[in-house]
Structure 1
Amino acid sequence: MRRVLILGGTAEARALAAELLGHCHVVSSLAGRVTNPRLPVGEVREGGFGGPDGLAAWLAAERIDAMVDATHPFAARMSASAAEASATNGVPLLTLRRPGWREGPGDAWERVGSLRAAADLLGHGDRVFLTTGRRSLPVFTVLPGVWLLARSVDPPDPPVPGNVHVLLDRGPYTLEGELALIREHRLDVLVTKDSGGSMTTAKLLAARELGLRVIMVDRPPPPAGVRLVESVAEAAVWAQG
C-alpha cells in the first residue's frame, strides 16, 4: 500500500485523507498552531519537521512514496520546505490549492501584494474588519486613528492595544451573521487574504451588500516546478499513482 504524506490542516487536506482512506496509508501532518484543530481521518502527526532537511530525513525514515502539499495558500514557508525536501530525496510532490476568490458584480476590490501594503491603504477614522489571522495583527495595530475588529480562531499574543477588539470565532460563517457583525461594529473596510474556499465567503458577500471597501491580499505563488491542482479528486488520483 502506498504511503502518502498530506501536509496541512485545511478542509481540502481532510477531504483528501478521507478520499484516500482504504486505498493508501495516509499520514496527515498538522503544524500545531491552532488549538483544537479539526482532525482528519487516519494517522495524524502534529508539529514541525525541523526545516526542509528534517522533512527530507523524515520522508526517508517513514518510506513515504508521495507527498501532497495541501497547506493554507499563505503557508509559503512550509510549501518551500516541501519543495526542497522533495528535490533532495526524490519523493514526488503535488500542490493542492483551492481556487482563489474572484470579484463579482458590484465588487471593486483593491488587491495588494502584502499585509504591509494593505496597512498602508488604511487611514484615520477607518473601522476595519480584519480577517488576516492573529499573527498579522502587529502590522495593523500601529496605525493611528484606525479601529480594528480582529477575528481569529485563537487569541493573539498580548498585549492587545485598546483600538483592537478581538473576536474569537471559527467558520463557516453565514451571510446573516456577517451582516449583523458589520452593522453592530459600524465597520467600513474589510481587509482579508485571498484564501479562497466557501467557509468564509460570507464576509465578501456582506461587504458587497453593505458597500464596504475591500482590501484583498494576494496569495504568494506556489514553488516553481511543482505540479498544482485545484481539486481533491485530482489530488486523490495522483496520490494513488
Structure 2
Amino acid sequence: MKVLVLGGTGEARALASALHGRPGFAVVSSLAGRVRDPRLPVGEVRVGGFGGPDKLAEWLAGAGIDAVVDATHPFAARISASAAEAAGKAGVPLLMLRRPGWPARPGWHWVSDLAEAAAVADGLGERIFLTTGRQGLSAFADSARWFLIRCVDPPEEPLPAKRLVLLDRGPYTVDTELALLRGHGVDVLVTKDSGGPLTVAKVDAAQEMGVPVVVVRRPPAPDVPVVGAVDEVLDWLAP
C-alpha cells in the first residue's frame, strides 16, 4: 500500500516513522515548502504545492497512491480542503490526523480570525506576545501596541511599528516561557488553538502569571473521517 502523508507536523513525522520500512507499505511525505528549514520526516519526501485539487488528483493517480492521510497543521484549511476534493475525484480514501485542541481555560478570549484577535488584544493590554505564525500578521500592523512576535521564519511586512521579532521554534518549557513573558513585560498572549504539547507551555505560563490569552478558533475541517493519534491511522490502514 502506497500512502501519501500530507505533513509538516510532529504527528506527520511520527506517522512516517511508523510506516517507513513497515512490511507492505510505502510512504511519501509531502511538505508545503513554506518553512525554509523544515524538520524532515524519514523516507521519501516531496516539497512544494500540487497546484490545486485537480492537479493533486492527477498526481495521486499517476503516483499510484492507495491512501491519503492529511496530517497538516489544524490551521492549514486550504490544503485540507484541496486534499478532500482531490481524494474524492481520484477515488482514493482519505483520513485526517488532527491533534485535539487545547481545553478552554479561565481568562481565554476566543476569536474567529486574526482581525478579531487584533481588535480584542488591543483592548486587553499594552505589550502583546504574538504567536500565530508569520502569515496574516498584517492584521496587527495598524496597532499602536508593542509586540513580541515569535515565528520560525522572518515575517513579511506590513508589521506593527513597535515590535521585536524572535525567530525560534518549539518545543518550549514553562520556565523558559515564564522568563520570556516576564523579561519583556508581556501582558497579553495571542495564539491559535494549535493543540498538542510542543507549544502549550506558553499558555501554561500565561495562566500562571494571570496574563489574558486571545485564542483563534480552528477553521472548519472538511467532511472527512478524523482521528487524533498515529495508532488510529495505523489501524485504519491495516488490511
Structure 1 and Structure 2 fold alike (TM over 0.5): yes
| Maintained 8 Å contact 1:126/1:147 | yes
In structure 2, what is the equivalent of residue 230 of structure 1? 228
How many residue pairs end up in the alignment?
236
What's the TM-score once normalised by structure 1's chain length? 0.95
Closer/same/farther in 2, CA of residues 192 and 199 from structure 1, 3 Å limit: same
Once residues 4 and 51 of structure 2 are traced to their aligned partners in structure 1, the CA distance between those partners, rounded to angstroms, is: 16
| Maintained 8 Å contact 1:122/1:146 | no
In structure 2, what is the equivalent of residue 55 of structure 1? 56
In structure 1, what is the equivalent of residue 215 of structure 2? 216
Identity %: 60
In structure 1, what is the equivalent of residue 80 of structure 2? 79
Once residues 87 and 46 of structure 2 are traced to their aligned partners in structure 1, the CA distance between those partners, rounded to angstroms, is: 19
List structure 1 segments (4+ residues) > 6 angstroms apart after TM superposition.
none
CA-CA distance at 1:56 after TM superposition: 0.3
Once residues 7 and 171 of structure 1 are traced to their aligned partners in structure 2, the CA distance between those partners, rounded to angstroms, is: 21
Q: What is the Cα-based RMSD across aligned positions, in Å?
A: 1.2
Q: What SS is found at the alignment partner of 1:74?
A: coil
1:141 aligns with 2:174: no
Q: What SS is found at the alignment partner of 1:15?
A: helix
In structure 1, what is the equivalent of residue 69 of structure 2? 68
Paired amino acid for 2:34: R
Superposed CA deviations along residues 191-216 of structure 1, whole A, max 9, x for unmatched, are: 00000010101101100011101011
In structure 2, what is the equivalent of residue 126 of structure 1? 126
Once residues 112 and 161 of structure 1 are traced to their aligned partners in structure 2, the CA distance between those partners, rounded to angstroms, is: 20
Once residues 122 and 158 of structure 2 are traced to their aligned partners in structure 1, the CA distance between those partners, rounded to angstroms, is: 22
In structure 2, what is the equivalent of residue 178 of structure 1? 177
Paired amino acid for 1:130: L
Superposed CA deviations along residues 109-156 of structure 1, whole A, max 9, x for unmatched, are: 11111111111113265210000011121111211x211100000001
In structure 1, what is the equivalent of residue 237 of structure 2? 239
Paired amino acid for 2:196: G
CA-CA distance at 1:108 after TM superposition: 2.1
What's the TM-score once normalised by structure 2's chain length? 0.95
| Gap runs ≥5 in structure 1 | none
Once residues 33 and 181 of structure 2 are traced to their aligned partners in structure 1, the CA distance between those partners, rounded to angstroms, is: 31
Task: Report 1:10-25 matches (<5 A).
Answer: 10-23=9-22, 24-25=25-26
In structure 2, what is the equivalent of residue 153 of structure 1? 152
| Maintained 8 Å contact 2:190/2:214 | yes
CA-CA distance at 1:159 after TM superposition: 5.7
| Gap runs ≥5 in structure 2 | none
CA-CA distance at 1:161 after TM superposition: 4.4
CA-CA distance at 1:64 after TM superposition: 0.2
Once residues 116 and 38 of structure 2 are traced to their aligned partners in structure 1, the CA distance between those partners, rounded to angstroms, is: 30
